[in-house]
Amino acid sequence: MNNELIDLIKTRRSIRSFKSDKIPQEAIAQIIDVGIYAATAMNRQSPIIISVTNKEVRDRLSKLNAEIMGVKSDPFYGAPVVLIVLADKKCPNHVYDGSLVMGNLMLAAHALGIGSCWIHRAKEEFELPEGKEILESLGIKGEYEGIGHCVLGYVDGGYPEAPARKGNWVYHID
């Protein structure tokens, strides 16, 4: 059966080459709005999203992320927008909650024709003084764990093919 949502889920790919063009603010807001409707354990809504469109902060985060990874290249692949998902460590399921938010963000971006990629090392980033300073500057109190960065931008170049599926994904007990 054809279904638009299922097609979108199956055609989303991690994008690793972005144009520097800005994304309209309404599109970013729409993507974030899908993020905040993710299911969360016991409806605790443990995650938060920090939307970074400021180039100076975006570049600072990229540098920090690259240092953690031990590389010199831009781990955000030139994407102009970074949505950082963090989640409240007080909630035992915070990593699951935050991961589902990340999934929603990536799918919403794809639905709007915007490329995305999960960029990791948010956990390490927000354990550093530089990361903590960002949280403080926004008045975010409490203990938040970085889950991931959903980088966003318009796709530069070709659209990636889906990697082949492994053979032993599914087992049936009928």
Ligand X SMILES: Cc1cc2nc3c(=O)[nH]c(=O)nc-3n(C[C@H](O)[C@H](O)[C@H](O)COP(=O)(O)O)c2cc1C
Least Cβ distance, residue 139 to ligand X (angstroms): 28
Least Cβ distance, residue 132 to ligand X (angstroms): 21
Nearer to ligand X (CB atom), residue 40 or residue 62: 62
Q: Is 63 in the site for ligand X (CB under 6 A)?
A: no
Nearer to ligand X (CB atom), residue 96 or residue 118: 118
- 149 SS3 class: strand
- 47 SS3 class: strand
Task: Choose which of 9, 16, 63, 123 interacts with ligand X (CB under 6 A).
Answer: 16
Quote the CA–CA distance of 147 and 101 in Å, as a whole number.
Answer: 10
Nearer to ligand X (CB atom), residue 129 or residue 163: 163
Task: Tell me which residues in 106-135 interact with ligand X (CB under 6 A).
Answer: 117-120
Q: Which residues pair with 48 in a beta bridge?
A: 86
Dihedral sign, Cα of residue 50, residue 112, residue 21, residue 149: positive
Least Cβ distance, residue 85 to ligand X (angstroms): 11
9-17, 19-27, 83-91, 134-142 -> range binding ligand X (CB under 6 A): 9-17
DSSP string, 60-109: HHHHHHHHHHT-SS-TTTT-SEEEEEEEETTSTTHHHHHHHHHHHHHHHH
Give the phi and the psi of residue 93 in degrees, each rounded to 5.
-100, 25
Least Cβ distance, residue 144 to ligand X (angstroms): 17
Give the phi and the psi of residue 135 in degrees, each rounded to 5.
-60, -45
Q: Which tokens hold the place of 144?
A: 């938040």
Nearer to ligand X (CB atom), residue 13 or residue 19: 13
Q: Is 23 in the site for ligand X (CB under 6 A)?
A: no
Nearer to ligand X (CB atom), residue 16 or residue 44: 16
Taking a C-beta distance cutoff of 8 angstroms, is the pair 98, 148 a contact?
yes
Least Cβ distance, residue 25 to ligand X (angstroms): 25
Site of interaction with ligand X (CB under 6 A): 13-14, 16, 117-120, 160, 163
